[in-house]
Amino acid sequence: MVKQVAADLPPLDLLRQAMPDLPPRLREVGRFLSGHEFDAATRSMRGLAAAAGVNPASFTRLAQALGYKGWDQLRDALIEARRPGTEAPFSGRLAVAGKPGQDPAAMAAAMIGSDAAGLTRIEAVPVAAAAAALHAAPRTWIAGFRSCRSVAELLHYQLRLFRPDAVQMVGSAGPEDLDFGAFRAGQAIVVIGFAPYSRASVMTVRAARAAGCRIIAIADTPQAPVSEGAEHLLLFEAKASPGFFPSLTGAVAQAQALAAAAFMLGGKAALLRLRQTEARLAAHSQYVPGPENTDR
């Protein structure tokens, strides 16, 4: 008989306490559930069971072992447990960041200092490994949503300067889910995200994983749902920023380093394509003439 635990605990805490007393099969389901919390809160029981390779009834039995009437009640508890951290992801940081009306110069200096320190902790070796995956892939998809869209567009722009036919933004020509059907095994996909994570980014990762794509995540933590199943993880510090909004400086640095490393791997062919792109830009007079103009 599985020991019952306090019902006022969050569902994953209930699960951790109950795990030692669960039968082996339910422990397997419990381990899957604890590692796929987002999926558990968003997918059907049948979908979860298919992903876990178990009978759907196993999730009902697990819920009952934890003291819930059934899977629906456990799923509702998982959804509710996720709410507090996402209700005020930006204004909730003010207690740490400082309130409006305080010295703006001090806040700016703190932001700059925090970002500069974070950049020194970014490692080059993972970037080089991710660049090798991009170089080997016949096509690269770039996915970033909401505030991460700007980082995705920057990476997309830089890669297209020397790989114009092999790079595409997810959702650039319509709803992102229409692109999911074009994902193919062996293609690479770069997904950018930080907490709170957009639903579109998680759905993109799930579709890419199902298609057999090589996933490169630029994320704030290894536990990020956009990092699940990633072959390469490029971390950046978002929450260390003292501002009301998490910092994207590290994400931009990772994206630019990734593009530069991929270009180096392209060798003479990449250089030729870059020069062809530059010639086309010059022919179309995209830039204001003059030695002082270095803006690209």
- What digits encode the pLDDT tens for the residues 259-275? 999 999 999 999 999 99
pLDDT of residue 3: 44
pLDDT of residue 93: 65
- Band (pLDDT 50/70/90 cuts) for residue 135 is very high
pLDDT of residue 115: 85
Alpha-carbon gap, residue 29 to 56, rounded angstroms: 10
Tell me the residue ranges of DSSP E strands in 136-227.
140-144, 167-169, 188-193, 214-219
Q: Rounded mean pLDDT of 148-176?
A: 90
Pair (145, 247) in one structural domain: yes
Q: How many CA atoms lie within 13 A of 55 on its CB side?
A: 7
Alpha-carbon gap, residue 142 to 282, rounded angstroms: 27
- What digits encode the pLDDT tens for the residues 188-219? 999 999 988 888 898 999 999 999 999 999 99
pLDDT of residue 5: 42
Cβ count near 17 (within 10 Å) = 15
Q: Which domain holds residue 156?
A: 108-283
Q: Rounded mean pLDDT of 170-195?
A: 88
Residue that is written with structure tokens 């422990």 in the block: 27
Q: Has this prediction a pTM greater than 0.75? A: no
pLDDT of residue 81: 67
Query: Is the model's pLDDT at 12 over the cut of 60?
Result: yes
Q: Contact 287/295 with Cβ under 8 angstroms?
A: yes
Pair (128, 53) in one structural domain: no
Structure tokens at 125: 């070796």
Pair (191, 237) in one structural domain: yes
User: Backbone phi, then psi, for 259, in 5-degree steps?
Assistant: -65, -45
Total domain count for the chain? 2
Domain CATH number, residue 152: 3.40.50.10490
88 within some domain: no
- Band (pLDDT 50/70/90 cuts) for residue 103 is confident
- Band (pLDDT 50/70/90 cuts) for residue 88 is low
Pair (65, 175) in one structural domain: no
204 within some domain: yes
Query: Is the model's pLDDT at 242 over the cut of 70?
Result: yes
- What digits encode the pLDDT tens for the residues 43-74? 778 888 888 889 999 999 999 998 898 998 88
103 within some domain: no
What is the longest distance spanned by two Cα atoms in the chain? 80
pLDDT of residue 157: 94
Pair (72, 148) in one structural domain: no
Query: Is the model's pLDDT at 110 over the cut of 90?
Result: no
Query: Is the model's pLDDT at 178 over the cut of 60?
Result: yes
The more confidently predicted of residues 75 and 265 is 265
2 within some domain: no
Looking at 46, 65, 82, the residue that finishes a domain is: 82
pLDDT of residue 258: 97
Alpha-carbon separation of residue 171 from 6, 78, 196 (angstroms): 45, 29, 20
Q: Rounded mean pLDDT of 36-45?
A: 75
pLDDT of residue 4: 44
Q: Rounded mean pLDDT of 2-17?
A: 66
pLDDT of residue 129: 95
pLDDT of residue 6: 43
DSSP labels for 95-149? Answer: HHH--TTS-HHHHHHHHHHHHHHHHHT--HHHHHHHHHHHHH-S-EEEEE-GGGH
